[in-house]
Structure formats: C-alpha cells, structure tokens
Amino acid sequence: MDRTEDLIWDYLERVRIYLPIGSDDLLREIRTHLLEAAEDIGRGQVTPGAVMLAIEQLGDPKTVANEYAGTGRTKGPVPVELVTPLVRSVLVVAGIGVGLITASLLVGPAIAAALGEAQGIAVSVLTSVALGLCMLVALVIGVHVLESKGLPTEKTVLDMVLDVGTGPFQPPSRLSASVATVMLGIGAILVVHPSVMPLYSAEFRVFVPAIAVLLLLAAVLSLALTAFGENNLLLVVNVVLSAVWIWLVSQLVYTGWPTTYAWACEDGGCHLVSISEVLAENPPLGTVLDVIWLAALFLVVVLSVWETNVAISKVVYYLHIGRGLWWTGTWGCSWLLAWIARRRGLPPP
C-alpha cells in the first residue's frame, strides 16, 4: 500500500471515532483539505513527509472532528470533543448490560432448573449487573487517563476504548444487508422444509411457523435496507421484530432440546431414528443438549435487546438532526470494501 494513503487512512480512522454517525461526507471533506494542505507543503507533490506535516497542522483528531461536526460545547467534566463517542460507548455497554439482565430473567430459571441449581438465576443477574456497572465506571473514570502521546496517525488507548461505540452505530452496508437477506431467507426455508419438520419435538413444532415468519420478515427488512438504506421506519420495524423475538424466547425456554429424531442413512436409504432412547440411557447428554439450547436462547435475547437499544438510539439521533420517518441512501461502508480499498491504496469508499 502507498505510504501516503496509509497515513491518511489511519488519521481519518481516528477522526471517525469522534464524529456523529453517518459522517462519511465530513470524512471526505477532511481528506480533501488534508491532501490540499499536503500538496501546498510539498510544493505540488504529496509525499509521506508532506502528509505528516499536514496532519500536524490540521490538529488532534478529537478537535478536528468537533470543528467539522459543529457539536458545540457542553457543561460538566467531559470535554466537548469526547461527548459523542462517549455517549455511543455508554449506550453500547448499557445495551449489553440490559441484554444480559433480560436474558438472565427470561432464560436463567430454565438454566438453573436444567442444572439443578436454584441459585443460578440470582448469580447470573448479579454478575450481569456487576459487569455492566464495572464497564460503565471504567469508561467514565478512564476517559481522562487513557490518552497516550504518539504520532497523530496512531490510535491512543482512549481511541480504542471509545471506538467500541463506533461500529455498532454505523448504518449497515449494502453488502452486509444483502448477505443477511440471503442467509435469513435460507433459514426461513430450512426450518419448515419437509425433511426437517419430522425431526422436531411436539412442544417445539408448535412454534416453528412463528420462527419461519420472523426469519422471513427479517429477510424482507434486510432486503429493504439493501434497496433503500437505513431510515427511521426500518429502524422501528427492527425494534418490533426484536421485541417479538424476545417474547418468542420466553415461550421456548421450557420446550427443551428442539429435536427428538435424527436422520440416519445406511444401505442406500435414510430413515428417522429416535434420539429419546439415547438420551434416556445417558441423562448427562440430555442435560448438555438442554443447556446448549438455553444458551442459544440466552444469546438471542442479548442480541435482540442490544439491537433494540441501538435502533432506538439511532431513531432519537436522526429525529434530533431533523430526519423524518423515511428517506433513502443511508448506507455504511462494508468492512470488506474498506479493507480492499486500503490494501490497494485507494481513498475510503
């Protein structure tokens, strides 16, 4: 990769951390100004040395982001340039904490019952609360002491901490939305496929149509994101779908492992084999499978709560900057395309 473009990429990545979501236009503007300054310094040539001097003149990424984004001033102990990334990071941590607590309340009792430990739910909830509080305290206390002095293109420890809130709040790229559309569509087909339906237990089979519909709706949502980009209407739909997933998990926690049969193929043919007998002969295996299933449900709740938290935060932000319910053209940058562009020494897509 060209050293000049590498320096610019590293600097812009630091600036991005302190910009509001959807600020790709500002990054392009900053890049243009940076190149113009480097060209003036290099007397018509953009060299790595000229770029470094231009970066030094442009200033600290936090200050540059605040100047270009026009975020204004704030009261309190937190510097103005840190407010935007700190709020995002706190929201991400809080979303994870709330997700863990919600999952503990919904799935924890079933896990405790499967393991035969009544105190499991209490320990799980207390651990989730303690973890969330520790992460929040670490963010607030460490915000003034994590700075390190280095090159303007090198991320400080503070940058890396605050970068936690950058990725989740970026709009999805067309590539990631397209992949999600395909994967969710395939999942919706597989769960109701004639060869899969006989495998389910009677308790779980009742919920299969609802699962298929939710997967199909999620695929349609991803398709809409691919075609139109992110907007408030699609974010609200995402919140509703996440809430339905959480409700569905609350109904699935006591169904047990979802399958009672498996396909066995031998002598050129396939037939159903009951796994109930195997589990009856080996109770620990049944417990392991139940815990695996409950762990998967636990993860679904955490992700759904986290998605809800991020989506609601985005809606509030978009309304704050004057966006309505529907607009088109807001996509993020695919990490794959960004990686390819960087490897080839191209400007950020």
Alpha-helix runs per DSSP H in the chain: 3-17, 24-41, 48-58, 61-69, 80-115, 120-142, 157-162, 174-191, 202-205, 208-228, 232-252, 276-281, 283-320, 335-343
Radius of gyration over every alpha carbon of the chain, rounded to an integer in angstroms = 25
Point out the least confidently predicted range of 48-62, 135-149, 189-203. 135-149
Q: Which pTM was predicted?
A: 0.76
pLDDT tens digit sequence for 245-285: 999 999 999 888 999 988 888 777 888 888 877 777 777 78
Tell me what pLDDT residue 214 has: 96
Q: How many helices (H) and strands (E) does the chain have?
A: 14, 2
Residues 6+ apart with CB under 8 A from 72: 80
User: Which range among 39-43, 91-95, 163-167 has the greatest average pLDDT?
Assistant: 39-43
Give the whole-angstrom CA distance, residue 84 versus residue 76.
Answer: 14
Higher local confidence (pLDDT), 148 or 132: 132
Give the whole-angstrom CA distance, residue 269 versus residue 271.
Answer: 7
